[in-house]
């Protein structure tokens, strides 16, 4: 069935469709073009197109089942799109090494992906090691980040004792580029 698009959605789609990715990369941090995900006959995401300008706060809205989570999973490389493309800072997620892309994005999912039996410090230590942070600097950076996000008194407690808000702070810390911007 045919969906009716608002004028601003149509204008955004045209801006992306008629722009060259190399030119759009000058103004947009993320470009999503004709992104589609099908599961057999079911279209979870149907030909979505938009750009997120540098330093822009962007919201993806839709009813339950509209394909928001599927869209984010395709953007982050967790699942492959059936069609379309995603560019992050001028790098195409289907053509580039995803490690290059991962160094430019952070994703905090709707539901926590935290391990309840680890402490906040243990969680951030593991993430730091995965990201290749100098092991001698990890604890200092974790302390600085937990102070910045106001959860230092919980950093050595197990995640299963955290409130929802403190879990969200830890999730934010995980996806943050705390190697540079938040700490230095």
Phi, psi of 18 (to 5 degrees): -95, -5
pLDDT at 110: 61
pLDDT at 108: 66
pLDDT at 1: 41
Maximum pairwise Cα distance, the chain: 58
Please tell me the distance from the alpha carbon of residue 166 to that of residue 171, in angstroms, as a whole number: 9
- CA–CA–CA angle 81, 85, 90 (5° rounding): 135
Q: Which is nearest to 36 in space by CA: 2, 1, 86, 78?
A: 86
Residues 13-34: tens digit of each pLDDT? 999 988 887 789 899 999 999 9
Hey, what are 40's tokens?
């057999």
pTM: 0.63
Which stretches in the chain have pLDDT values below 50? 1-2, 179-184
pLDDT at 179: 45
Q: Which is nearest to 45 in space by CA: 18, 65, 61?
A: 65
Please tell me the distance from the alpha carbon of residue 52 to that of residue 50, in angstroms, as a whole number: 7
pLDDT at 102: 74
Hey, what are 108's tokens?
């905090």
pLDDT at 76: 83
Ordered strands of the 91-92 beta sheet: 42-53, 28-39, 83-88, 91-92
Helix (H) or strand (E) holding 142: helix 138-148
Q: Show the beta-strand stretches assigned E in the chain.
A: 28-39, 42-53, 83-88, 91-92
pLDDT at 183: 41
Residue 105: other Cβ atoms inside 10 A: 17
């Amino acid at each position: 069935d045919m969906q009716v698009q608002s004028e601003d959605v149509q204008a955004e789609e045209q801006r992306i469709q008629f722009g060259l990715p190399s030119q759009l990369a000058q103004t947009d941090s993320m470009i999503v073009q004709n992104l589609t995900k099908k599961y057999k006959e079911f279209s979870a995401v149907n030909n979505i197109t938009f750009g997120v300008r540098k330093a822009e706060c962007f919201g993806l809205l839709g009813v339950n089942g509209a394909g928001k989570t599927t869209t984010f999973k395709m953007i982050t490389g967790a699942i492959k799109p059936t069609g379309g493309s995603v560019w992050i800072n001028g790098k195409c997620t289907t053509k580039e090494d995803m490690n290059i892309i991962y160094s430019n994005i952070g994703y905090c999912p709707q539901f926590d992906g935290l391990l309840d039996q680890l402490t906040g410090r243990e969680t951030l230590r593991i993430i730091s090691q995965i990201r290749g942070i100098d092991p001698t600097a990890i604890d200092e950076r974790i302390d600085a980040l937990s102070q910045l996000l106001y959860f230092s008194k919980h950093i050595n407690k197990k995640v299963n004792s955290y409130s929802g808000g403190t879990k969200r702070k830890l999730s934010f810390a995980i996806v943050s580029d705390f190697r540079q911007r938040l700490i230095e």
